[in-house]
Structure 1
Amino acid sequence: MFGNRFSQTERSLLIKGARPIGFGGGVGKTIDVLIGKDGRIAETGSTIAVGDDVKVVEANGASLSPGWTDLHVHVWYGGTDISLRPQQCGAARGVTTMVDAGSAGEANFHGFREFIMEPARENIYAFLNIGSIGLVACNRVSELIDMRSIDIDRTIATVEANRDVIVGLKVRASHVITGGWDLTPVRLAKKLCRILKLPLMVHVGEPPPLYDDVLGLLTEGDIVTHCFNGKAGGSIIEDDDLYRLAEDAAQRGIVLDVGHGGASFSFDVAKAALERGLPPKTISTDLHNRSLDGAVWDMATTMSKLLSLGMGFEDVVAASTTAPRRAIRLPSDGLLEKGRPAEFTVFDLVDADLTVKDSQGATSTLRRLFEPRHAILGAEAIVAHRHVPSDGSAGSVHVCPHCGWKS
């Protein structure tokens, strides 16, 4: 696999006094984790003694989870007009694995791989856009004007040549993209996914096509991103029939993904769904250059929003780590076992008084906040912190109760 390609380092790494969460078995007692120079777990235990040649990260009781995995980002920087650089939403924000959601199509995927994915220190995977040009000029030049926008043979060939990093196909099912083409692009994308034996990620937005009809085409393992959007005709709480279809879809194994973005997440919709027992399976940001300093900011803030709306702490962690890994068929069990590649996020959950917005502009106050401290990629520990928007609105200083670390 392309991911977890950690290079040999000069020093081993010891994470000292971290509290495991998200590995199964609830919140564990504090442990030490020793990572060898090869980037693999060498030992775990209550106390591990090491020499001066080992780099030590003092967790001081902070949480240690599998690496945060953002299932929906846009990082084909320079190849589209909306994409960010990977480092703007990756390890420096506590995210070790990112999945680009359709920035590239078959016509420009080779550049995305060579210039973005391969040099990145994070693990980057991709859903290949069913539209050949991807999001080159997002929402200005549609990638799905008509059948001339899709090259079936070249899309199949691109997937086959890049199966180590392409984890599925992406289609945007919204009238602002497809005009009157309705369900045809979704049907074509689903057909190709059956041929390629890969999941389909569908962006649901302004109808047509109807969210209702999209759900009827999907099968186990497919992904609906923007599941809690508040758009007229696409909100699962304004239509009881649609809500029941969403419930049924979740029971059929379809992944409901947050995909916050600049226009696709509503506090009211998410809160109502959680109260009625319909949580998202995965939490993702849909970060791009129009949402970074707008409603989204980063993965930690998005996770904190779901926590504030009533999702359990352990459920939020699972939806941001092992659940998205399973969605793209990466290993999700035994991630703390000896010999496994080390990919973790060290974070605190701190008291806060932070006003945030959803994609509709509604505000909410976060009282508890995920604060990333380190992204662990092999034997490399990257210092991490939340994104501070350009207007400085990401909140006041917070002090970790364990170590006094400030953010």
Structure 2
Amino acid sequence: MALLLRNFRLVGFGETGGVSEIAVGADGSIAAKADADARLVDCGGAWLSPGWADLHVHVWHGGTDISIRADEAGLKRGVTAMADAGSAGEATFHGLREYVIERQQETIKAFVNIGSIGLVACNRVPELIDERFIDVDRTLDVIEKNRDVVCGVKVRSSGVIVGAWGITPLQIGKRVAEIAGLPLMVHIGEPPPVLDQVLDLLSPGDVVTHCFNGKRGGSIADTKALFDQAKRLAEAGVRMDIGHGAASYSFTVAKESIRQGLKPFSISTDLHGHDIDGPVFDLATTASKLLAAGLSFEECVDGIAANPRAFLGLSAAPLAPGSRADFTVFDLADSDEEARDSQGNVLQLEKTFEPRFTILGAVATPAARAEREGSDG
């Protein structure tokens, strides 16, 4: 059924020319005027932004032992698009595509893990033990066959994954990304390799996920030289991504980095089975934590909407007639919640992002914040 959206405040669209209502045709595209039988959707004075996009989730449920169902990260959490961050390598990508990407209402794209087995038995059987775990030819073939949904190459470049193999998997992953003409997403954490080696390999367009982690030896906050290098790379076009996760977000690192002018390109959750019940919960909670850490409201909206959408090749401003309707309607609510980072540190949230519903095509889907026990956010 056609829709007519009214009573909203726009954010994240740039110049909009005073748009006061949005007509969506029965085919799900933006219309110049509303159909006579369009259903009125009163947004209740809430904010309306481009649909939220989460650049780091794990939704290959059943294909890995860590992934959640895409429904748990998507429309009911205010998210209309997401990128699976390396759950599948070349050996399992066909399953991720057939059973998740092609069956969801949300737009789902994916980073191909440079390790052939992906995260089948995450960390228990690391995907990068030695050279037998990477097949360059097969990975490039999978990328070519799935160009429409592949958004990059993923390498988890930390000691618990690569062990004595060190920087080599990242070097191979970077070369594969270059051959394919795709960005690289690199997971940073405990060494080896050391962070200097990782940052030295990156180019504009690449993504550093877990950028504000607090792991000693693997954090941009370890030394001034590392922080300055990360800031220079960000200014040159390397994308800093939050990737909160169970172990990879520090309030202290985030607040100090933002204070010194290093701001993330994208706010993402790294949502999976070990953090969905805390400390991450959902994208709204993660954005609220970045607001509390010093980003402005508009910067947070860009971090969960315009920036990741642009990375995924989606319109950052889907208001033009003919474009597919793709919006999130939400409140910025007063709050007295306590939120926790990945190290158990507590921060008081004065404001929280609260999704009301999404508009994807001609379908309005009610949204809700994730269930949380007590005030632990």
Is this a same-fold pair by TM over 0.5? yes
Map of 1:7 onto structure 2: none
Map of 1:8 onto structure 2: none
SS in structure 2 at match of 1:353: coil
- Structure 1 residue 213 corresponds to structure 2 residue 197: yes
- Structure 1 residue 369 corresponds to structure 2 residue 358: no
- Structure 1 residue 17 corresponds to structure 2 residue 7: yes
Q: CA deviation at 1:89?
A: 1.0
SS in structure 2 at match of 1:57: strand
Q: CA deviation at 1:392?
A: 4.8
SS in structure 2 at match of 1:112: helix
- Structure 1 residue 336 corresponds to structure 2 residue 319: yes
Q: Distance in 1 between matches of 2:374 and 2:59?
A: 23
Q: Distance in 2 between matches of 1:329 and 1:150?
A: 28
SS in structure 2 at match of 1:250: helix
Map of 1:399 onto structure 2: none
Q: CA deviation at 1:56?
A: 2.2
Query: Does the CA contact (< 8 Å) of 2:194 and 2:217 recur in 1?
Result: yes
TM-score by structure 1 length? 0.90
Which of 188, 191, 194 is matched with 2:178 structurally? 194
Query: Does the CA contact (< 8 Å) of 2:356 and 2:368 recur in 1?
Result: yes
Relative to 1, partners in 2 of residues 1:139 and 1:165: Cα closer, same or farther, differing over 3 Å?
same
Query: Does the CA contact (< 8 Å) of 2:9 and 2:48 recur in 1?
Result: yes
Runs of 4+ in 1 over 6 A off after TM superposition: none
Query: Does the CA contact (< 8 Å) of 1:89 and 1:95 recur in 2?
Result: yes
Q: CA deviation at 1:29?
A: 5.4
Q: For 1:206-251, what per-residue CA distance to the aligned partner results, in whole angstroms no more than 9, with x for missing partners?
A: 0111122111101010000000000001222231010011011101
Q: Distance in 2 between matches of 1:310 and 1:155?
A: 40
Gaps of 5+ in 2: none
Q: Distance in 2 between matches of 1:383 and 1:345?
A: 10
Query: Does the CA contact (< 8 Å) of 2:335 and 2:349 recur in 1?
Result: yes
Which of 330, 351, 354 is matched with 1:347 structurally? 330
What is the identity, as a one-letter code, of the residue corresponding to 2:214? G
**Which deviates more from structure 2 when the two are superposed, residues 131-140 or residues 234-243?**
234-243
What is the identity, as a one-letter code, of the residue corresponding to 1:18? F
Q: For 1:257-312, what per-residue CA distance to the aligned partner results, in whole angstroms no more than 9, with x for missing partners?
A: 00000000000000000110111111000000101012101000000011111101
Map of 2:127 onto structure 1: 143
Q: Distance in 2 between matches of 1:59 and 1:112?
A: 35
Gaps of 5+ in 1: 1-10, 396-407
Query: Does the CA contact (< 8 Å) of 1:350 and 1:369 recur in 2?
Result: yes
Query: Does the CA contact (< 8 Å) of 2:194 and 2:218 recur in 1?
Result: yes
Q: For 1:316-347, what per-residue CA distance to the aligned partner results, in whole angstroms no more than 9, with x for missing partners?
A: 10111111122233333x42111111111000
Query: Does the CA contact (< 8 Å) of 1:20 and 1:29 recur in 2?
Result: no
SS in structure 2 at match of 1:102: strand
Q: CA deviation at 1:393?
A: 4.0
Query: Does the CA contact (< 8 Å) of 1:387 and 1:394 recur in 2?
Result: no
Which of 103, 111, 114 is matched with 2:98 structurally? 114
Alignment identity in percent? Answer: 54
Which of 17, 22, 42 is matched with 1:33 structurally? 22
SS in structure 1 at match of 2:307: helix
Q: Distance in 2 between matches of 1:212 and 1:245?
A: 8
Which of 228, 242, 246 is matched with 1:258 structurally? 242
TM-score by structure 2 length? 0.97
Q: Distance in 1 between matches of 2:113 and 2:61?
A: 16
Q: How many residues align?
A: 377
* Aligned CA-pair RMSD: 1.4
